[in-house]
Every structure is written in C-alpha cells, then in structure tokens.
Chain A
Amino acid sequence: MRSHRAAEGAILLDHRNNEGVPDEIMVAQGLPAGAGRGLFEAATYNCSHCQFTVVINPLRNRDRAYCAKCDHLICDECGARKAAGADCVPWKKVVDDALEAATQAQQRSIILSV
C-alpha cells in the first residue's frame, strides 16, 4: 500500500545570510510564519486535481483535504470545490484528455489534407 508521504516533494528557503522576509509577506503567499527566517525546509505535496504545491505546515491542526476517488491529498481550494459537490478530475486525466484531443485534431487535419 502506497503511503501519501511517498508522493511528497520539498521546499527549501535559505535565509541564513540575511534578514529574511517578514512573516506578513510569507503568510500572504501561503507559507508558514517563520518560513522567511533562517533555514526553512518543509515537505510539500502537489494537489492531484490542480498541481498546486502545498507546503505542509507541521503546526496545522485542521485536516488536509483528501480525495478518496483519486486517493491523493488535494489543496484547500480544490477541497472546498469537492465539498461543494464538484467531481474528482485528477490532473492525470486532464493530461490524458488534452493529449487525446490534440492527437485526434492532428489525425483529422492529416485526413482532411489527403
């Protein structure tokens, strides 16, 4: 069984040699308070619906949004959409559909040019 942690990436911000970035800017950008000071390294995951990189804040108490259909953590925004009734459309399906449409368009243009 594959763990969700096996899909984690990482973010590294190195401010060891300067005054860093104020917390209000980091928090406004979706990063944890304190991320702009010293050496900040945290695990991340990419939302399986939109590919947004979510920085995992170890101090967060709320549950992470999770999609049981694609068995992957999703970002809060996609989690809110899912809670409102939106269907699960994993990014891998978006890729497949886009490639299928592009391939069909190419084949149509070849057939029409013959």
Chain B
Amino acid sequence: MAKYTLSWHSVTLTPVANAAAFTDSGYGFFLQGGSGTMQCKVSEVYIGGEATASSVIIGKFARDSTVAATSIGAGTLFNALNDGSATAPGTIAVFGQVSTTKPQRSATLHLGDLSFNAFGASGRLWANPGEEWTTIGNTASLGEVSFSAFTGSGAGPVGGTVKYEVV
C-alpha cells in the first residue's frame, strides 16, 4: 500500500502529563487512521533539535487515550507519498497539530522514549520491517499515535519526520 513521510518543523513543545489535553501546535504530530478499519504502520520516528540554547526534551512517542476530533488542522505538518509515482489510496490517514478535541497521551501505552537536547542534537527510532508500531482504526486507544513532550521537558523548538504506511 502507500508509504508516506509526515514531517514538521519549528514546533515549540508544550510539556504535558499523561492523560492531559495537548496544546494546539505544542506537540509534534498525531497520526490517526482515516477509517474504522485502517491500519497505519509507523516504521521510523526522527526528531531534530532547532533550539539556539540548551533545551532538554523529554519526548514521548505514545498511543493516545483520547483521539483528536473536530476541526483538525495540519499546523506545520506536511504529508507526502514516498514514491512519486504511487497512487494515493481513496482514504488517507488523518494527521495534525490542531483540533477542537485535543489528543491526550495514554498513561500506559507509551511506545518509545526519545529524550535529547534540542540544542543541535537529534533522535531517531527505527522499527524492523514486520515489527512496526501500528494504529488500528480511528478510536482510542489503538487508533492514534503522537509525539509530545512530557512534564519537565524543555520547549525546543524541534522538527521531525515520521515514516508510515497506510494498510
């Protein structure tokens, strides 16, 4: 199926606790299935620091216990097919940094920790083919993943890239 790259830049992170509403444009991204049966397989998460002074990011790649809904906006996100000659599926994944109902990071379903200093450092997580992080459908808690800053984190700013496949 179709493989995509979702990227963003210049996001000043707003640290939030688990099960607390994210702040619009204060987190990297959320990625949600575009239908009740869509699977998105995330194979790579990359975050790069853009800060001009030391800023320790406590980054969480995690599932969301409340999924984004209503008036979803992409913010600084760009979503592109990896293969220029590929045909996009009829329904694509839902992604964004802005919404009326804000995503909330699950208190238990964390998928990976990316802590790094945003003053010029970077962090990258890869999954082995066949072992990708998967969203199922578009409802909590399996239907959405996000990258956000945990309580105590610096603000960044940061940019990043997510590689995923719509199945």
Which residues of A pack against B, CB within 8 Å? 6-15, 17-22, 25-26, 29-31, 36, 44-46, 50-53, 91, 94-95, 98-99, 102-103, 105-106
Contacts and interface: CB of A to CB of B under 8 A. Distances in A.
B contact residues, range = 20 to 34
A9 B127 CA distance: 4
B82 interface: no
Nearest to B115: A29
Contact of A102 (B37, B61, B116, B130): B37
Contacts of B125: 9-11, 44, 53
5 contacts: A12-B123, A14-B122, A36-B117, A53-B112, A95-B136
A83 to B, nearest CB: 18
B134 A51 contact: yes
Contact of A18 (B61, B111, B117): B117
Contacts of A21: 56, 115-117
B94 interface: no
Given A17-B120, A18-B121, A25-B56, A106 B133 contact: no
Interface string B95-120: 00000000000000111111111011
Contacts, number: 110
A71 B50 CA distance: 41
Given A18-B121, A95-B39, A99-B136, A25 B128 contact: no
The main secondary structure of chain B at its interface with chain A is: strand
A91 B111 CA distance: 13
Nearest to A39: B121
Given A20-B117, A52-B110, A52-B112, 12 more contacts: A7-B131, A11-B114, A14-B121, A14-B123, A15-B116, A20-B121, A22-B56, A44-B125, A53-B111, A91-B134, A99-B136, A102-B137
